């Protein structure tokens, strides 16, 4: 990794990169709210530069990380940092991110940097979740409907893939929901195509383990 | 075969059952968890060790200060002193400290480092292993193994406490690193798994209560010197254990104590730079690193 702090720099870069992966396209604007120790020592620990680097698609060991604010200008990424209080219960290294793409797509993310560069995503678009990014991860924005999970898990079975964790959270019955599945291996593209064609699937993102860096295209 | 474990007791039981070292169990566990051949993982660890060596080498060359002005050039000074005519406690003493400084100075200048287990504590394990390489002929292969010993012990801390300074103070970072390094030294010197665990317990026990109050929010003061000093500290713990001194409090209990103390430690002393060294007259001069608060908030 590129310094200075594994929690405040490497973890922060990974959180930024997760947001970039989940949005699925280049970020043009980011509102970044820092909580606790992230806010208190973020500047010295380069949390700001790391988050921006991640949002630009850079990995935690990218040499360009230290100059990411300059790179943001070149990539027309605008951003705003704020300090927030997410409450006593929140992990001291928490961040809440709102990112926007050029086509108007938006994504919100709440994540924690839990030490040694490891992270946990606790919320996506207001839905509670728990993603560590150490396994292949599928994120589905879906309509809460009977049998939806059965269809999805059947495709995992067809691909002979073992599911490690699965979680569905919804706002209310029959309303929008978010499903996250971590598995021991990646789904083949055919399975993803079938999933995206299910009438109750609104959107999906398949993330490889450890969120690889995204080269600028 | 399942090699997973949640505690030092379970790890030592696995070592006994398979008549294996901590590094072997840790390697086998990782191979199962990641579904990757052991040889691939060993190669990856060798590569990490090469990166560690490189970060030490680069750090020893630093002559300029970091952007904050708080560090830079001291690793070089220590290394030069170790090569002087009659360095106190012999050349190895100052050289090992220099190695710990070097990684953190390199880190403060945005150089590439391996977090072991964190960036703020990344100097300790490399300093110990390089010292063993210099003076005990530790091979690249043995260094990679030693990193698995360190990782094997680290897993116990990761599962039962935390490595995060913001969560547990410096004891969670430097304490964990020193614990991992002490165990690695013992195994590299031919000690038993029990002796390695005891060395880890001694090292962690002696860092309990260590707070995280970095000046200006930079990972430099007291982090740089602390990494140099705690590399030697790991050797002290290893020596005690190799001499068959048993730690009265077993590693699992010391980890519980570390977590408990971390929870009770005030937030101001957990990587917020709101107290301690950060708030001394000297510390306040470097306080500009703080992110500007949201002025829109009432």
Q: Is the pLDDT of residue B219 over 70?
A: yes
- Please tell me the number of Cα atoms within 13 Å of B5 on its side-chain side: 25
- Mean confidence (pLDDT) of chain A: 93
Average pLDDT in the B206-232 region? Answer: 97
Note whether B164 contacts A115, CB cutoff 8 Å.
yes
Encode pLDDT of B101-144 as tens digits. 999 999 999 999 999 999 999 999 999 999 999 999 999 999 99
Q: List A residues 19-78 in contact with B (Cβ-Cβ < 8 A).
A: 34, 36-48, 61, 63, 65-66
Interface test with B, best of A31, A39, A116, A136 (most B CBs within 10 A): A116
Q: Can you list the alpha helix ranges (DSSP code H) found in A5-133?
A: 12-23, 36-41, 47-55, 68-74
Identify the band that residue A43 occupies on the pLDDT scale cut at 50, 70 and 90. confident
Please state the pTM of the whole predicted model. Answer: 0.90
Encode pLDDT of B254-268 as tens digits. 999 999 999 999 999
Q: List A residues 113-172 in contact with B (Cβ-Cβ < 8 A).
A: 113-117
Q: Can you list the alpha helix ranges (DSSP code H) found in B161-278?
A: 165-168, 170, 176-188, 193-205, 223-242, 251-264
Identify the band that residue A179 occupies on the pLDDT scale cut at 50, 70 and 90. very high
Residue of higher predicted confidence among B244 and B294: B244
Residues of B in contact with A82 (CB under 8 A): 294, 296
The answer to whether B71 touches B108, Cβ cutoff 8 Å, is: yes
* Alpha-carbon dihedral sign for residues B13, B14, B16, B17: positive
Identify the band that residue A216 occupies on the pLDDT scale cut at 50, 70 and 90. low
Q: Minimal Cα distance from A36: which residue of B? A: B272
Encode pLDDT of A44-73 as tens digits. 889 999 999 999 999 999 999 999 999 999
What pLDDT is attached to residue B288?
62
Average pLDDT in the B63-67 region? Answer: 95
- Please tell me the number of Cα atoms within 13 Å of B11 on its side-chain side: 33
Residues of A in contact with B270 (CB under 8 A): 37, 92
3-state SS assignment for residue A16: helix
Note whether B115 contacts A2, CB cutoff 8 Å.
no
Q: How far is B65 from chain A (nearest CA, A)?
A: 14
Q: Nearest to residue A108, comparing CAs of A33, A160, A168?
A: A33
Q: Is the pLDDT of residue B296 over 80?
A: no
pLDDT > 90: percent of chain B = 93
């Amino acid at each position: 990794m590129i310094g200075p702090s594994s929690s405040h720099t490497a973890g922060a870069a990974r959180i930024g990169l997760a947001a970039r992966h989940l949005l699925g396209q280049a970020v043009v604007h980011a509102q970044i709210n820092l909580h606790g120790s992230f806010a208190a020592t973020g500047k010295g620990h380069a949390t700001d530069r790391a988050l921006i680097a991640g949002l630009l698609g850079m990995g935690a060991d990218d040499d360009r990380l230290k100059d990411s604010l300059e790179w943001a200008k070149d990539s027309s990424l605008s951003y705003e940092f704020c300090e927030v209080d997410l409450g006593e219960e929140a992990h001291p290294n928490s961040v809440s991110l709102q990112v926007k793409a050029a086509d108007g797509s938006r994504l919100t993310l709440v994540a924690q940097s839990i030490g040694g560069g490891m992270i946990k995503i606790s919320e996506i678009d207001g839905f509670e979740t728990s993603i560590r990014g150490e396994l292949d991860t599928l994120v589905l924005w879906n309509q809460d409907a009977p049998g939806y999970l059965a269809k999805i898990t059947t495709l995992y079975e067809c691909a002979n893939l073992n599911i490690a964790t699965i979680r569905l959270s919804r706002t209310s019955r029959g309303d929008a929901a978010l499903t996250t599945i971590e598995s021991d291996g990646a789904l083949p593209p055919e399975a993803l195509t079938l999933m995206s064609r299910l009438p109750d699937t609104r959107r999906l993102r398949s993330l490889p383990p450890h969120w690889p860096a995204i080269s600028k295209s | 075969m399942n090699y997973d474990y949640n505690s030092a007791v379970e790890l030592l039981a696995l070592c006994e059952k398979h008549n294996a070292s901590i590094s072997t169990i840790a390697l086998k566990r990782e191979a199962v968890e990641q579904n990757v051949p052991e040889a691939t993982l060993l190669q990856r660890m060798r590569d990490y060790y090469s990166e560690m060596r490189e970060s030490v080498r680069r750090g020893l060359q630093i002559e300029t200060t970091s952007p904050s002005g708080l560090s830079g050039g001291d690793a070089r000074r220590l290394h030069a002193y170790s090569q002087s005519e009659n360095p106190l406690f012999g050349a190895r003493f100052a050289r090992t400290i220099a190695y710990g400084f070097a990684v953190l100075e390199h880190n403060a200048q945005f150089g590439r480092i391996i977090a072991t287990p964190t960036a703020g504590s990344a100097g300790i394990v490399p300093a110990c292993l390089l010292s063993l390489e210099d003076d005990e002929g530790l091979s690249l292969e043995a260094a990679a193994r030693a990193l698995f010993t360190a990782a094997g012990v680290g897993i116990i801390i990761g599962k039962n406490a935390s490595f995060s300074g913001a969560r547990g103070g410096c004891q969670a970072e430097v304490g964990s690193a020193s614990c991992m390094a002490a165990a690695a030294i013992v195994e590299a010197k031919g000690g038993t798994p029990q002796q390695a665990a005891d060395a880890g317990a001694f090292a962690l026990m002696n860092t309990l209560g260590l707070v995280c109050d970095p000046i200006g929010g930079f990972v430099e003061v007291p982090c740089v010197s602390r990494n140099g000093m705690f590399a030697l500290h790991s050797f002290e713990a290893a020596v005690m254990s190799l001499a068959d001194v048993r730690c009265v409090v077993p590693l699992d209990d010391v980890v519980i104590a570390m977590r408990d103390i971390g929870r009770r430690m005030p937030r101001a002393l957990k990587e917020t730079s709101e107290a301690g060294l950060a708030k001394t007259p000297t510390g306040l001069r470097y306080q500009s690193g703080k992110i500007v608060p949201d002025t829109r908030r009432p």
